[in-house]
């Protein structure tokens, strides 16, 4: 929440960013009137004397302000150019430096040119004469005048910092991240009021830094701190922004990495590094193939083929993730899903079968009969780890369990089932988890003995299977799954 002063400055500068700059010069009139009050404490004066000295001092202040406005307008010119639409990098940097160095650059120039600086000693001589003071009191008044002048200069310096902050914030949002802060800062105070101004400036910078830190902590890596000073606080803000950009880039890389690698695997890689030593683990492998995809691809345009694949995998992959599996490989129109590696799962078989059920249901709902799937599920031990070389590796699972799952998927084309699971997977399921129908021994390519396979009851295609399939593979009526000891 911005304070009333800050809100007022922003409201005034909304139409004209320079307006707060020239308005703040009016403070000088109050400061020099207060200076006359100090002189009156030392040497009481009549009302007539006070009015004469006040008129002369205010005329000098007015002249000083007119010249000061001309000076600051020249310094502010790059800001006006930037506001009119010159938003290239060079113009943005020049505008930022003009606004950020306004207080210091103005102070340098005004100490050389402003009449208030060269006229205050003659004014003190005039005040000594007007008040009828002895000649040596001139030195006392000169000290008082120096204090007032120094006070006004420092007060004006920090006031300029405050009023230029809103436009600095706007410019800072478009600064390149690698620009250099090369202007020196000034840090000095002379009284409580100046300390208040300094603390206001620092407090605002710290508040911005705290707000940005909170946003970073909540995962918003786009948070940036406006660089509105050329001193250490500006360097701190720039360093924070550099850090935030690094975190933002890391998060983008993490998201991009997750698009090519399973999120769970990506998290492990980020934590442990890319090299996983091969280890033998029990898993369930799900091999999926899109039915009749080859025929479709022969007649469709390449863009249509890619669009179908992307749409299909966007439907399937989240199902695997919901059941704590991951898509290990995409092989053309096929997919290898793994449950139990790299994340160990005691119920990997049940998760894989439920994922297969859900995939079949969702594919039917979205594509009707236009697109079908065949899914083979097998459980067993595999070697899981990273393979590759030359700086390029991938996480995979290797073993006969994987090959068997692919052969089981191929068998679905013969039996007409959407999902077939092996005896090893069935044995790993909890009792009464699923209703299964056994197929008679099905020969698998590369295997000496026919395999014992099971179809999910809801997927048994009794009505849609051909007579040859029913006769050859012995489609039986659905039976509640029995423990492996009973099924033997």
Q: 204-250: per-residue pLDDT in tens? A: 666 677 777 777 777 787 777 776 555 556 667 767 777 777 777 76
Helical spans, DSSP H, in 46-114:
47-83, 89-100, 102-113
Q: Per-residue pLDDT for 192 more than 50? A: no
Q: pLDDT tier at 126 (50, 70, 90 boundaries)?
A: confident
Q: Which residues of 152-183 are buried (b: 16+ CB within 10 A; e: fewer)?
A: bbbbbbbbbbbbbbbbbbbbbeebeeeeebee
**For residue 198, what pLDDT is reported?**
52
Which among 123, 184, 188 is positioned nearest to 155, based on CA atoms? 188
**For residue 256, what pLDDT is reported?**
55
Check residue 346 and report its DSSP letter: T
**For residue 410, what pLDDT is reported?**
92
Q: Per-residue pLDDT for 82 more than 80? A: yes
Distance CA 220, CA 248 (A): 8
Cβ-proximal residues to 96 (8 Å cutoff; 6+ apart), any chain: 168, 171, 172, 175, 179, 227
**For residue 352, what pLDDT is reported?**
97
Q: 309-358: per-residue pLDDT in tens? A: 999 999 999 999 999 999 988 888 899 999 998 888 999 999 999 999 99
Q: 380-435: per-residue pLDDT in tens? A: 999 987 776 666 667 788 999 999 999 999 999 888 899 999 999 999 998 777 88
Which among 441, 401, 439 is positioned nearest to 417, based on CA atoms? 439
User: Omega of the bond prior to 342 within 30 degrees of 0, cis?
Assistant: yes
Instruction: Report the mean per-residue pLDDT for the chain.
Output: 77
More confident residue, 105 or 233: 105
The domain segmentation of the chain, as residue ranges, is: 4-253, 275-487
Distance CA 355, CA 286 (A): 9
Q: pLDDT tier at 259 (50, 70, 90 boundaries)?
A: low
State which H helix or E strand residue 159 sits in: helix 137-172
**For residue 317, what pLDDT is reported?**
92
Q: Per-residue pLDDT for 114 more than 60? A: no
**For residue 232, what pLDDT is reported?**
58
Q: Which residues of 370-390 are buried (b: 16+ CB within 10 A; e: fewer)?
A: ebbbbbbbbbbebbbbbeeee
CATH for 275-487 (3.40.50.20, 3.30.70.1230, 3.40.50.150, 3.30.750.24): 3.30.70.1230
Distance CA 459, CA 168 (A): 67
- Region 28-39: what's the mean pLDDT? 82
Q: Per-residue pLDDT for 59 more than 50? A: yes
Q: Per-residue pLDDT for 60 more than 90? A: no
Q: 457-468: per-residue pLDDT in tens? A: 754 443 444 333
Q: Which residue is listed with tokens 């749409």?
A: 311
Cβ-proximal residues to 175 (8 Å cutoff; 6+ apart), any chain: 92, 93, 96, 227
More confident residue, 398 or 148: 398
More confident residue, 320 or 5: 320
CB atoms within 10 A of CB 10: 17
Cβ(43)–Cβ(137) below 8 Å? yes
Q: Per-residue pLDDT for 6 more than 70? A: no
Q: Per-residue pLDDT for 13 more than 70? A: no
Q: pLDDT tier at 85 (50, 70, 90 boundaries)?
A: confident
Distance CA 431, CA 483 (A): 6
Write out the E strands in 291-361.
Answer: 326-331, 334-339
């Amino acid at each position: 929440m911005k304070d009333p002063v800050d809100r007022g400055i922003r409201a005034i500068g909304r139409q004209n960013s320079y307006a707060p700059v020239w308005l703040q010069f009016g403070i000088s009139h109050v400061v020099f009137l207060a200076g006359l009050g100090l002189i009156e404490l030392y040497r009481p004066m009549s009302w007539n004397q006070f009015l004469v000295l006040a008129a002369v001092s205010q005329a000098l202040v007015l002249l000083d302000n007119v010249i000061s406005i001309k000076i600051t307008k020249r310094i502010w010119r790059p800001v006006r150019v930037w506001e009119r639409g010159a938003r290239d990098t060079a113009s943005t940097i020049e505008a930022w430096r003009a606004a950020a160095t306004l207080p210091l650059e103005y102070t340098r120039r005004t100490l050389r040119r402003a009449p208030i600086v060269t006229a205050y000693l003659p004014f003190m001589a005039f005040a000594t004469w007007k008040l009828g003071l002895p000649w040596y009191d001139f030195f006392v008044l000169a000290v008082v005048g120096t204090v007032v002048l120094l006070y006004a200069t420092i007060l004006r310096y920090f006031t300029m910092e405050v009023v230029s902050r809103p436009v600095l914030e706007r410019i800072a949002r478009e600064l390149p991240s690698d620009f250099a802060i090369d202007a020196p800062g000034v840090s000095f105070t002379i009284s409580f009021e100046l300390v208040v101004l300094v603390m206001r400036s620092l407090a605002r910078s710290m508040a911005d830094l705290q707000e940005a830190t909170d946003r970073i902590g909540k995962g918003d890596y786009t948070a940036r701190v406006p660089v509105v000073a050329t001193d250490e606080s500006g360097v701190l803000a720039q360093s924070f922004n550099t850090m935030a950009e690094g975190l933002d880039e890391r998060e983008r890389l993490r998201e991009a990495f997750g698009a090519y690698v399973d999120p769970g695997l990506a998290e492990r890689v980020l934590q442990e590094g890319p090299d996983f030593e091969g280890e033998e683990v029990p898993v369930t492998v799900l091999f999926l193939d899109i039915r009749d995809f080859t025929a479709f691809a022969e007649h469709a345009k390449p863009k249509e083929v890619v669009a179908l694949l992307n749409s299909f995998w966007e439907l399937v992959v989240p199902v695997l993730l919901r059941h704590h599996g991951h898509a290990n490989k995409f092989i053309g129109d096929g997919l290898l899903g793994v449950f139990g590696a790299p994340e160990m799962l005691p119920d990997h078989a049940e998760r894989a079968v439920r994922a297969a059920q859900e995939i079949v249901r969702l594919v039917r709902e979205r594509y009707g009969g236009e697109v079908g799937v065949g899914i083979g599920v097998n459980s067993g031990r595999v070697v899981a780890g990273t393979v590759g070389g030359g700086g390029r590796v991938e996480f995979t699972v290797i073993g006969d369990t994987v090959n068997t799952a692919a052969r089981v998927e191929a068998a679905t084309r013969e039996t007409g089932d959407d999902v077939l699971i092996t005896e090893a997977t069935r044995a790993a399921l909890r009792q009464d988890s699923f209703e299964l129908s056994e197929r008679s021994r099905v020969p698998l390519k590369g295997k000496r003995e026919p395999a014992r396979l099971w179809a999910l009851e809801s997927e048994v295609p009794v009505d849609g299977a051909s007579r040859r399939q029913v006769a050859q593979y012995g489609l039986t009526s659905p039976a509640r799954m029995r423990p492996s000891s009973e099924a033997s």
